Structure 1
Amino acid sequence: MKIALYNAKVYVERERFVEAVLVEDRKIKAIGTNEEILATADIDEKIDCEGKTVIPGLNDSHMHIFNFGERMCQVKIGDCESIDEMIDRCKKYVEENPDSVKHGLYAQGWNQDYFTDSDRIPTRFDLDKISTEIPVVLERICGHILTTNTKTIELLGIDANSPQYPGGTFEIGEDGYPNGIFAENACNYAKNVIPKADIEQRKKMFIEASEYAAEHGITTVQSNDLGTIVFDYPEYFKFFKDIYNSGEGIIRYRHQISFETVEEFKDYIENGEFKNGKYDEDSLIQLGPLKLFKDGSLGARTALVRGGYKDDPTNNGIEWMSEEVMDEFCKVASDAGIQVATHVIGDGAVEKTIDSYEKTFGQEGNKLRHTLVHCQITDKALLERIAKLGIVVSYQPIFLDYDMHIVEKRCGKELASTSYAFKTLGDLGAKIAYGTDCPVEDCNPFPNIYSAVTRKDSKGFPEGGFYPEECVDVYTAIDAYTEGSAYMEFMEGKKGRIKPGQLADIVVLDKDIFTCDPMEIRDILPVMTMIDGKIVYKK
């Protein structure tokens, strides 16, 4: 099958564009002028792009697509401006969907900093107004803190004298009873009270989420689902293979896999998927890195910060994983030739994770491309160390939309000025990939690119950008989202550019992202998405 896209502005590399591209047998066969490409014999389909801009398929370097699929089916609480509004929406949802919530109500998305009447975190007393008959679990947008109703606490069987969960906490209220607020790993215990979606429901959610991603120009997701959202590893490794073997999987999917213990990880190296899994080199589904968590989130004040929070000085955040356990995970991974990607947000988490990584580096340095995911709070010394060691960073520029309003309060202006350092780290020579951490943020890549280029929130604040010296240009942002994310998965020679020999992952845009007003970038949408040489979305 030969497909020619012509009469286009095809982005090849910085300041280089061509008019047309020829796709054949899943790959880009040639690029050039309209005349050169249309002169090719036996073209099966000719697509007139009508002068539109064409870029490589965008590659989300870190997200949770299962969680996003769930969110698409939940009561929407992300834009609630008060606890009362959230309660009212949930009560209405329970009344209108009795079969869906008969075993409990779960939703994710609230953010106390968006509440206009009070910025307090909701408690069990609030959620008891939704229901006292079924468990109710409402998770903060970051996924690092949640609130339950009293029924959930009763089903967990905990009280003030119960031991805390490993790697997480539940708060005790003034009345001497758990108040419903759970943080970090304790959240998983609360969420497990409500039955998870079954295989068929997961399949429907995954396909719908994949279609949404493709409609927004995402052609690859590097997704952390196993070990965070689902835990039956054999069943879900088979789940993915069945979907892709049947042809129902349309986007490229690379596993980022979490394990609770080093022993469990070792077993999967010696006896499980890392030993027995078969993945063709260019197939749509790939086995990826070990995914670890070092700390929490800035919004929940659970990110691990070295100097304590400026607005909570006795709090340094939560260290999810001890140095000893992290060192062991990294050694086992490196000995087995497996990449490691670690969630790090606070500067304390960044430093300690670099320490653990560096202990595994030999003369070849970071040959496994160990990665820092998020890497938000940094000083200049940390940035220089990251670049010197060749550690990959998966940035989520869209986090600035919210974080710019709290980071100076949390960390102080000096540290804020060297954080979210998209340009500085790139100038130092580090390898950078972009992602969204969806569903923490929507996986739509264009608001993400807008954030990197303008460093403004969705309302255009502040006028000049938040520490504007860290703004990047459009070329840099797109390259991070394509070639940079491909580098993170050892695929930079095979995808991420529109060049002969690369996989045919291509997006046609409704607006020229290179010349439009930067304020308009967030509203750009694809009119066509091609993955693996097949058109999977057309407006």
Structure 2
Amino acid sequence: MKKILHHGKVYVEKGVFAEAVMIEGGLIAAVGSNEDILSLADGETELLDCGGKTLIPGLNDSHLHFMQFGETLNQVDIDGVPSIDEMIRRCRDFIDKYPEKVKDGLHAIGWNQDLFVDSDRLPDRHDLDQISREIPIVLERVCGHIVSSNTKVIEMLGIDGDSPQFPDGDFLIGEDGYPNGIFTANACNIAKALIPDFSMEERRKILLETMKYGVAHGLTSVQSNDVGTTFMDGPAAFKLFHDVYDSGEALLRYRHQVCFNDFAAFETYLTEGEFACGKYGEDSWLTLGPLKLFKDGSLGARTALMRDGYAVDRENHGLEWIKDDEMEKYCQLAKQYGLQVVTHVIGDAAIEKTIDCYENAFVDGENKLRHALIHCQITDEGLLTRIAEKGILVFAQPIFLDYDMNIVEELCGKELASTSYAFGTLRRKGAHISYGTDCPVEDCNPFPNIYMAVTRKDKSGQPAGGFYPGECVDVADAIDAYTIESAYGEFMEDRKGRIKKGYYADLVLLDRDIFTVDPMEIKDILPEMTMVGGKVVYQK
């Protein structure tokens, strides 16, 4: 059956608007004036009056951890806790309230030592022992690259001060010569593995609940790294997603970004695993995407890989998660199988090393596989130019500036900070830059993210002129970064991310006009309706 959305302000492309859209078979069949499109209606056409409201393409988060976000909604809330004592209190209360949920262990994510009002030290085993010494406890920093644990975790791992470090990750030693409960990089996964996983039925419920949240905030597509991070059992994860999508219960489009903890597992995936055997239809809402790698840690944890170290500690150059030679192996094998690679890079050294590796894996000297830099935060002019000239994609998170603007100058120095988070410069240089949230590091609601890209102000409107305002983008560019550019990142720019004939009917009707509203209000915008493939999946 045909549907017509009429009397709207329909965003077609920068500077171009229409009034009405006709949908047929899940695709946009026509776009034009009210008169022209309504003349195509017949007796069976469903008419939807937009009431003059703004209609934009469905928003597509180019990098997040969707399943992990769902998990956080089912765990103790430690996001942004103001102190270690408050974190201890919340965890104790959660244990008292949900003893069955935590009888075999407690896990949560969200603390950030820079937000502690009384101290900026990392919580350690002595703190978490105040929660419990009977069950393992693992609490992740908001970035996911450092975890704190209690003594029970150390005992279960069977490590002491003389034990060898884990591959690609460390456990820190306290002043007493014993592990202090703090783990970094890949060692975080080893500690987290001690906490029993959600059951498959729980995961299914979590996934569906998270989809409801996503479409209620205008997301129609997510490109998500869950397999190999949040969900370590790859075959089980792929089966769960197939089951949900095959049943028709899914509310939005999902593209896998897949991690591996060792090269042999990646080889198996390519030759006899999901990559080789998985079934994905041409217009499936579920698609199999790139290999995801981690090159470094995070800025706030002082583990981003920096060329010249940190301004506050030049001896600290951060943490190199995957080494150059290992990364070369992954990228060369990905090239052999025609697979895109996307890599977590935050520090300038991580970005430079990753670009080097990508160039070595180019096809015919070009980035035909659309390898991408996720985050790409700390840059100088040379790196920005090189990214654009080499056609390397950037999956950026403008919303990170809400916090990072408070630390980047101190940690990197003002000169380097002035050329970092350079979303405007990258666009002007012609780079393909798309937006995401890295949720649950930030909420997956796209509108605070668009607000940050447009204003370069925190949620309270500071600084008044914006943080390095030359990097601001206009509203159309921000929407394009969330739509057509995100589609480009998944090789779908010919059928997704625009309101044009032949494109997927993924649409969002907004409660106010994002193009004319006071920029301070952009962060507060919400959908009146969200549509995926012509199907209404959310209505206010």
Partner of 2:350, secondary structure, is helix
Q: Report what 1:99 is aligned to.
A: 100
Which residue does 1:15 correspond to in 2?
15
Cα deviation for residue 262 of structure 1 reads 2.0
Structure 2 equivalent of residue 373 of structure 1: 374
Q: Which moved more, 1:385-394 or 1:35-44?
A: 35-44
- Tell me what 1:304 maps to: 305
Q: For 2:145 and 2:237, how far apart are their aligned partners in 1?
A: 24
Q: Which residue of 2 aligns with 1:493?
A: 494
More divergent stretch after superposition (345-354 vs 29-38): 29-38
Q: Secondary structure at the match of 1:253?
A: strand
Provide the rounded CA distance (Å) in 1 between the counterparts of 2:194 and 2:261.
Answer: 19
Taking only aligned residues, the RMSD between alpha carbons, in angstroms, comes to 0.9
Shift of residue 479, structure 1, vs aligned partner: 0.2
Deviations along 1:348-370, one digit per CA (max 9) or x if unpaired, are 00000000000112435000000
SS of the residue 1:287 aligns to: strand
1:320 CA drift (Å): 0.6
Task: Confirm or deny: 8 A CA contact 2:4 2:41 kept in the other structure.
Answer: no
Cα distance in 1, alignment partners of residues 7 and 398 from structure 2: 32
Amino acid at match of 2:6: Y
Determine helix, strand or coil for the equivalent of 1:288.
Answer: strand
AA aligned to 2:24 is: E
Is 1:443 aligned with 2:444?
yes
Structure 1 segments, 4+ long, off by >6 Å, are: none
CA distance in 2, matches of 1:266, 1:126: 41
Q: Which residue of 1 aligns with 2:133?
A: 132
**Conserved? CA contact 2:64–2:439, under 8 Å:** yes
Which amino acid in structure 1 is aligned with residue 484 of structure 2?
E
- Offset of 1:231 from its aligned partner? 2.2
Q: How does 1:246-395 map to 2 (within 5 A)?
A: 246-363=247-364, 365-395=366-396
Matched, 1:49 2:50: yes
| Equivalent residue letter for 1:88 | R
Report if the CA contact (8 A) 2:62-2:223 is conserved.
yes
**In 2, Cα distance between equivalents of 1:308 and 1:79:** 27
Q: Which amino acid aligns with 2:85?
A: D
Structure-2 separation of matches of 1:95 and 1:232: 30
Deviations 1:405-425 (A, max 9, x none): 001111100000000000111
Q: In the alignment, residue 368 of structure 1 is paired with which amino acid?
A: L
Q: Which residue of 1 aligns with 2:224?
A: 223
- Per the normalisation by structure 1, the TM-score is 0.99
Specify the alignment match of 1:185 in structure 2. Answer: 186
Cα separation, 1, equivalents of 2:247 and 2:363:
42
Residues 172 and 190 of structure 1: CA distance in aligned 2, closer, same or farther (over 3 Å): same
Contact 2:378 2:419 survives alignment (8 Å) = yes
* Bigger Cα displacement from structure 2, 77-86 vs 320-329: 77-86
* 1:145 corresponding residue in structure 2: 146
Matched letter for residue 35 of structure 1: E
Alignment of 1:457-536 (within 5 A): 457-536=458-537
Find out whether 1:2 has 2:2 as its counterpart.
yes
Aligned partners of 2:362 and 2:369 also within 8 Å: no
**TM-score, with length taken from structure 2:** 0.99
Q: Output the amino acid matched with 1:316.
A: H
Which has the higher mean CA deviation after the structures are superposed, 334-343 or 32-41?
Answer: 32-41
What CA distance in whole angstroms lies between the structure 2 residues aligned with 1:411 and 1:370? 26
Partner Cα distance (1:177, 1:258) in 2: 31
Aligned-pair CA distance for 1:400: 0.4
User: In structure 1, what is the Cα distance between the partners aligned to 2:152 and 2:20?
Assistant: 61
What pairs up with 1:386-425 in 2 under 5 angstroms?
Answer: 386-425=387-426
CA–CA separation in structure 2 for the residues paired with 1:537 and 1:256: 26
Indicate the SS of the match to 2:338.
Answer: coil
Distance of 2:364 and 2:274 partners within structure 1: 29
Secondary structure of residue in 2 paired with 1:503: coil
Distance in 1, Cα, partners of 2:92 & 2:232: 30
CA contact (8 A) 2:14 2:476 kept: yes
CA shift at 1:263, angstroms?
2.0
CA-to-partner distance for each residue in 1:473-518, whole Å, 9 max, x for gaps?
0010000100000000000010100001000000000010000111
Q: Which consecutive unaligned segments of at least 5 residues does structure 2 have? A: none
Q: Secondary structure in 1 aligned to 2:498?
A: coil
Q: Is the 8 A contact 2:19 2:33 kept in 1?
A: yes
User: 29-38 vs 246-255, which deviates more?
Assistant: 29-38
Q: Are residues 1:37 and 2:5 paired?
A: no
Where do residues 118-129 of structure 1 align in structure 2 (5 Å cutoff)? 118-129=119-130
Q: Deviations over 1:51-78 (max 9, x none)?
A: 1110000000001111001001111111
Write the letter of the residue equivalent to 1:529. T
Separation of aligned partners in 1, 2:21 and 2:374: 34
Offset, 1:44: 3.1
- Between the two proteins, the alignment pairs up a number of residues equal to 539
2:233, 2:117 → 1: CA distance? 41
Amino acid corresponding to residue 38 of structure 1 in structure 2: L
Equivalents in 2 of 1:208, 1:224: separation in Å?
18
User: Aligned residues: percent identity?
Assistant: 63
Secondary structure of the corresponding residue to residue 147 of structure 2: strand
Match of 2:134, SS state, is: coil
**Structure 1 residue runs without a partner (length 5+):** none
Provide the secondary structure at the position in 1 that maps to 2:85: helix
Shift of 1:176: 1.3
> Letter of the aligned partner of 2:200 in structure 1?
I
| Shift of residue 79, structure 1, vs aligned partner | 2.8
CA contact (8 A) 2:363 2:369 kept: no
Q: Deviation at 1:168?
A: 0.8
Shift in Å at residue 36 of structure 1? Answer: 1.5
SS in 2 for 1:168: coil
What amino acid maps onto 2:71 in structure 1? Answer: E
Q: Distance in 2 between matches of 1:236 and 1:66?
A: 10
| AA of the residue aligned to 2:16 | R
The separation in 2 between residues aligned to 1:131 and 1:223, in whole angstroms, is 33
SS in 2 for 1:256: strand
Q: 8 Å contact 2:359–2:365 — kept in the other structure?
A: no
- Which letter does structure 2 place at the counterpart of 1:108? I
The one-letter code of the counterpart of 2:476 is Y
